[in-house]
């Protein structure tokens, strides 16, 4: 909870306070894709939908995090056969974004609540720009995400 400069990390403090009060922070509402559902082929990230139960319904989302590749993505199912993949870290302060199905947007879980369209365009918020959205395609039960090509 202590920031590098010796001060209190505000976001961590708030998350810890919410947990102590029995409230799960929104950043925890995007479940991670199971490791066995993820594989890489060159610059493509391939997700096996058969192994990601949390992506079975419209409006669902999962997170894909790979520290060695510096990846932190959110993948959302917006319609039966339509998915989007974007960087998950807000361009303001790096807090996690979550998928809001009702508004078809991504919203930062920090108190400033920056919001982005599904192509990554900033709608409002004090941020440092848009989120990167990735080109993807469905191939049978797989989502193939091109990590080098923006959508
Ligand atoms: S970290 Fe997202 S609005 Fe500040």
pLDDT of amino acid 118: 98
CB of 117 closer than 6 angstroms to any ligand 1 atom: no
The mean pLDDT value of the chain amounts to: 85
Is the pLDDT score of 142 beyond 50?
Answer: yes
**What is the band of 4 on the pLDDT scale with cuts at 50, 70, 90?**
very low
Query: Can you tell me the distance from the alpha carbon of 92 to that of 94, in angstroms, rounded to the nearest whole number?
Result: 6
DSSP 102: T
pLDDT of amino acid 128: 86
Of 120, 97, 116, nearest to 105 by C-alpha is 116
Q: Looking at ligand 1, which residue's alpha carbon is closest to its atom 1?
A: 93
Write down all domains in the chain, each with its CATH number in brackets.
27-150 (2.102.10.10)
Taking residues 69-79, what's their average pLDDT? 96
Distance 139 CA to ligand 1 centre (A): 34
pLDDT tens per residue, range 75-130: 999 999 999 999 999 999 999 999 999 999 999 999 888 999 999 999 998 878 99
Give the nearest ligand 1 atom to 97 CA: 2
**What is the band of 10 on the pLDDT scale with cuts at 50, 70, 90?**
low
Distance 111 CA to ligand 1 centre (A): 7
Query: Can you tell me the distance from the alpha carbon of 16 to that of 88, in angstroms, rounded to the nearest whole number?
Result: 21
The percentage of the chain sitting over the pLDDT mark of 70, rounded to a whole number, equals: 81
Whether the pTM exceeds 0.95: the reply is no
């Amino acid at each position: 909870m202590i920031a590098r400069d010796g001060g209190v990390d505000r976001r961590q403090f708030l998350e810890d306070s919410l947990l102590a009060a029995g409230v799960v922070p929104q950043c925890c509402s995007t479940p991670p894709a199971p490791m066995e559902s993820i594989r890489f082929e060159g610059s493509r990230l391939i997700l096996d939908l058969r192994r990601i139960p949390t992506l079975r319904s419209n409006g669902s989302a999962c997170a894909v995090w790979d520290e060695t590749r510096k990846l932190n993505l959110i993948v959302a199912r917006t319609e039966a056969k339509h998915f989007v993949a974007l960087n998950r870290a807000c361009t303001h302060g790096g807090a996690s974004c979550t998928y809001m199905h009702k508004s078809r947007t991504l919203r930062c879980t920090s108190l400033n609540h920056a919001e982005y369209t599904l192509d990554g365009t900033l709608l409002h918020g004090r941020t440092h720009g848009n989120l990167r959205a990735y080109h993807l395609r469905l191939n049978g039960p797989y989502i193939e995400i091109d990590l080098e090509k923006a959508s």
